[in-house]
Structure 1
Amino acid sequence: MNQLGQSSNTQVSIGETAKFSEEEINEAVSKVKRKFWGFRGCELTEIWYTEAESNKIAEDYLKYGGGSEKNIDPDNLIGLLSNFKVGSSGGDVSLEPNSTYPEWSWLLIRNSKNGNWHVETWGY
């Protein structure tokens, strides 16, 4: 039986930002780590935030993704990038066994400035 996805030893890097507080970014990171538990047999090695990359992930979601049909304030979207390793089983999410997935993106959304983040989408 595969174990839960591992995210307890993840290296976290937060770049400079004028958009979000460190607390807001750390809350988003926590939600991604929790979501990663579902990536059985995988290990989240790094997760990071840079404003430029976050803005690009959010813009793509608003232009081409599920956000294109919703009226979403871009200040309520945050994008994170991560690297993770897949074990020999390939995990439960149809990933290539014994491989590394670099710059895997995560988009989180919240209802308002004071709302809680939830993971909306992930992948390449």
Structure 2
Amino acid sequence: MFSLVSCKQGRISDNIEIDISESTKFSKDEITNSIECVKSNFNFEGATLTKIWYDEKKSNNLVDIYLENGNGSQNGVSEEDVIILLSNFYVDDSGKNPVLNRDTIYTDYQWILIRDNEKSEWKIDSFGF
């Protein structure tokens, strides 16, 4: 995984595209809440979040990897309390971001969110590729 640390300097596009696939694992509200968590924590300086989506098939495959090899293999989180969203964002050419490439669109960027149980709020556990 690739991680960034910065101040709250990211932007959300006025025309952000949000796509939620059919789900047998989570309710629409659960997915929407996870998307809002990512949006409110998007803080990559000089970057604009342009698309965020939940694809259950891709998410389930990535969750399996997370539970076997990622933080999920250590933190004891249950499969039903992990959701992985994908996103695209654009980094402008200002040079304000010292980590990401200027004037670049990043695609399929992963956000791994976990919760304690079905009633608790989502929190970002990890993000990257």
Report deviation, 1:91.
4.4
Report deviation, 1:66.
1.0
Residues 85-94 or 50-59, more deviating: 85-94
Deviations 1:63-105 (A, max 9, x none): 1111112322100000000111001134446100100101101
CA contact (8 A) 1:5 1:43 kept: yes
**1:56 aligned to 58, 61, 76, which one?**
61
User: How does 1:30-69 map onto structure 2 within 5 Å?
Assistant: 30-36=36-42, 38-69=43-74
2: CA distance, partners of 1:118 / 1:93:
25
1: CA distance, partners of 2:111 / 2:92:
21
Letter in 1 for 2:90: K
Q: Which residue is equivalent to 2:99? A: 94
2: CA distance, partners of 1:90 / 1:99:
11
**2:27 aligned to 21, 41, 48, which one?**
21
CA contact (8 A) 1:39 1:93 kept: no
Q: How many residues align?
A: 122
Instruction: Provide the identity percentage.
Output: 36
Structure 1 pair 72–103 and aligned structure 2 pair: CA distance change class (3 A): same
The alignment's C-alpha RMSD in Å is 1.7
CA contact (8 A) 2:114 2:123 kept: yes
Residues 53-62 or 77-86, more deviating: 53-62
- Structure 2: 5+ residue stretches without partners: 1-6
1: CA distance, partners of 2:117 / 2:110:
22
The list of structure 1 runs, each at least 4 consecutive aligned residues, that deviate by more than 4 angstroms after superposition, is: none
CA contact (8 A) 2:67 2:73 kept: yes
1: CA distance, partners of 2:119 / 2:82:
12
- Structure 1: 5+ residue stretches without partners: none
**2:123 aligned to 115, 118, 124, which one?**
118
| TM-score, length of structure 1 as denominator length | 0.91
Letter in 2 for 1:33: K
2: CA distance, partners of 1:105 / 1:88:
23
